[in-house]
Structure 1
Amino acid sequence: MELRHLRYFVAVAHEGHVTRAAEKLHMQQPPLSQQIRALEREIGAPLLLRHPRGVSLTDAGRSFLADAEAILASVERATVKARRTARGETGRIAVGFTTSAPFHPLVARAIREFRRERPDISFVLEENSSGDLLAAVRDERLDIAFIRAGLADPQGLAVEELLHEEMAAALPARHPLARRPKLALKDLAAEDFVLYRRSEGRGLYDVIIAACSAAGFSPHISQEAPRIVSTLNLVAAGLGITIVPASLSRLPLEGVTYRPLTGRPPFRVPLNLARRRDEASAATLAFIDRVRRLA
């Protein structure tokens, strides 16, 4: 039994007449009658009562019609869904990000605009370390990831730089340096630093250490924390200062004051996008394109 047999039967049942159904199906009446009789033989029961001026349904025919219509409707829904998925209009995108990435407005704006245009796309979000995020993209548990680090071991992945973000100092609110509107990195040389663990955020950690070295000092790290927000809580407790991407200064936290860092060259950290090189999902590719254009 094929789908065309169901379509033939439904057309005949709706028209109540084989000849009119054949015209609607753009076929001849004799082949249509043969197909209906073959269908009845396969089922093992008559579906139609033949009359001089048309046909009517048997009890078996009425039962079969309801199920045939449901099957055809399901096939139509599946076809439409597949076509929309192929066009990137429906589906699911799993997005990963390091702790600092979602504070940059690019990430939220890209998701918000994409969902407004394609409301049938759903997003799954996951926060993790750069290493774990890259492994998840590689293993297809995530589709893309926003990270701060580069990529040492590609293995089918590509990491592209979206933008560079200015850095800011986060100080305890009563710290003497908080009286200044701006700071140079060398102004922090004598301070205790609270940093995001390198194992959790290699890209951000390495950028900070390299920048301090270029400014002529090696930072004294008094505390390390597993998340950037945790470092800010330690700063609020007066345990040291830290350096964060400037977008985190939008995060109001009692006891913490943010100050921009000046200098030449500017102290910046990248925001990168990691993806699979062979990505084929139309929805994911469309979202990546949106992110690139916004960046």
Structure 2
Amino acid sequence: MDLSLRLLQALAAVAEDGSMTRAARRLNLTQQAVSGQIRQLERIVGTPLVVRLSSGIELTAAGQVVLKQGEALLSSAEAMMSEARMVGAARSEPLRIAFKAQSTAHFMPAVEAALRRQAPDLEVQPISSHTLPEEIEALVEGRADAAFLWLPIGDDPRFVIHPLLAEDRWVALPPGHPLSERNSLTIADLADVPVVGPREGMPEAVVSFWFIDPRPDGSRAVFGPEGRTPEECLHLVAAGHGCWIAPASTVTYFAHPRLVWLPLVDAPPNQLALMWAVHNPNPYLPLLLQETSRVLLPAN
């Protein structure tokens, strides 16, 4: 049986796009080539796999069976190649991970332990950073293979981004602030409160998200002094210069005698992602994603 993985890839693309033309664009092939691959697969299986309708192309019942089993074969082949690359790399290629301690302290040690179980010879090299530009720079310059960071980062096609988890947003206030006696806050409560945080050199989408600017009612956020790092932001808040909006993990990581933390109940959550450069050749990246997902999302 001459069953090629490329034939299964063609069927999967046609099933997802519902069109030979769109599937061909996805696969960087001509429409005739994709049609020929589908016909070849049908000859191998011995029954029609697709049906052409006015609304597009749909899979037959047999096509659904081949698609389901074929996706399992494609996934298995990808896992085989990844494992083979890791075995071939042995100790020669460490995995360098950029991270912010306050964002990853609750899971990164477990991820490293899981990596050691799966690849005992793998050397993990953590690279601590304090800001988004530092993490991006480490990836671009090749000093880090991957990074854990908060979205958004702006539109940047140089990277592969895998969202991992969502965290509620909290607000740091100085003791004695008029809002500090509340049990929780809304975005409207912060209408006149300056928000501290990094802005210089940040993409517009990043600033807009972190400062919640504009607000849901169309009003603009009040910008306080710039704090480049979490420590600088905490100092500015403690000194009475405004508030700081941060992920929930930050609350548990930083203990500060002159801060009050309150949940911001109606703000979109922060989303942590694992990211690496599109052309990074490190063979351990799929394993890092796999084990991180297992640690953070054990039910899945």
Range of TM-score over shorter length: 0.5 to 0.7
- Secondary structure of residue in 2 paired with 1:282: coil
- Give the partner amino acid of 1:255: R
Correspondent of 2:98 among 93, 96, 99: 96
Aligned to 1:107: 108
Aligned to 2:257: 254
Aligned to 2:192: 190
Q: Provide the C-alpha distance between the structure 2 equivalents of 1:167 and 1:93, rounded to a whole number of angstroms.
A: 31
- Give the partner amino acid of 2:87: A
- Give the partner amino acid of 2:240: G
Aligned to 1:232: 234
Report the CA distance between 1:279 and its aligned residue: 4.1
Q: Provide the C-alpha distance between the structure 1 equivalents of 2:204 and 2:134, rounded to a whole number of angstroms.
A: 12
Is residue 154–residue 206 contact of structure 2 (8 Å, CA) maintained in 1? no
Aligned to 1:293: 294
Structure 1 residues 132 and 255: alpha-carbon distance in aligned structure 2, compared to 1, 3 A threshold? closer
**Aligned sequence identity (%):** 22
Q: Provide the C-alpha distance between the structure 2 equivalents of 1:196 and 1:248, rounded to a whole number of angstroms.
A: 16
Q: Provide the C-alpha distance between the structure 1 equivalents of 2:217 and 2:231, rounded to a whole number of angstroms.
A: 25
Gaps of 5+ in 2: 1-83
Aligned to 2:270: 269
Q: Deviations over 1:184-205 (max 9, x none)?
A: 1110111122223352686653
Once the two structures are superposed, the pairs formed by residues 110-129 of structure 1 within 5 Å of their partners are 110-115=111-116, 118=119, 120=121, 121-129=123-131
Report the CA distance between 1:261 and its aligned residue: 0.9
- Of Structure 1 and Structure 2, the greater strand share is in 1
Report the CA distance between 1:140 and its aligned residue: 2.3
Q: Provide the C-alpha distance between the structure 2 equivalents of 1:242 and 1:126, rounded to a whole number of angstroms.
A: 22
Report the CA distance between 1:138 and its aligned residue: 3.4
TM normalised by structure 1 equals 0.61
Report the CA distance between 1:135 and its aligned residue: 3.8
Structure 1 residues 99 and 110: alpha-carbon distance in aligned structure 2, compared to 1, 3 A threshold? closer
Aligned to 1:59: none
- Give the partner amino acid of 1:290: E
Is residue 106–residue 294 contact of structure 1 (8 Å, CA) maintained in 2? yes
Q: Deviations over 1:115-156 (max 9, x none)?
A: 46655423231315434433432332210012223352323x
Structure 1 residues 106 and 87: alpha-carbon distance in aligned structure 2, compared to 1, 3 A threshold? farther
Q: Provide the C-alpha distance between the structure 1 equivalents of 2:206 and 2:101, rounded to a whole number of angstroms.
A: 10
Aligned to 1:152: 155
- Give the partner amino acid of 2:232: S
- Give the partner amino acid of 2:143: R
CA RMSD of aligned residues (A): 2.9
Q: Deviations over 1:1-23 (max 9, x none)?
A: xxxxxxxxxxxxxxxxxxxxxxx
Q: Provide the C-alpha distance between the structure 2 equivalents of 1:96 and 1:199, rounded to a whole number of angstroms.
A: 20
- Give the partner amino acid of 2:144: L
- Secondary structure of residue in 2 paired with 1:153: coil
Which structure would you say has the larger Rg? 1
Once the two structures are superposed, the pairs formed by residues 1-295 of structure 1 within 5 Å of their partners are 86=87, 90=91, 91-98=93-100, 101-102=103-104, 105-115=106-116, 118=119, 120=121, 121-148=123-150, 149-155=152-158, 157-199=159-201, 205-210=207-212, 212-250=214-252, 251-263=254-266, 266-295=267-296
Is residue 86–residue 282 contact of structure 1 (8 Å, CA) maintained in 2? no
- Give the partner amino acid of 1:275: W
Q: Deviations over 1:248-274 (max 9, x none)?
A: 1112111001000112xx421221221
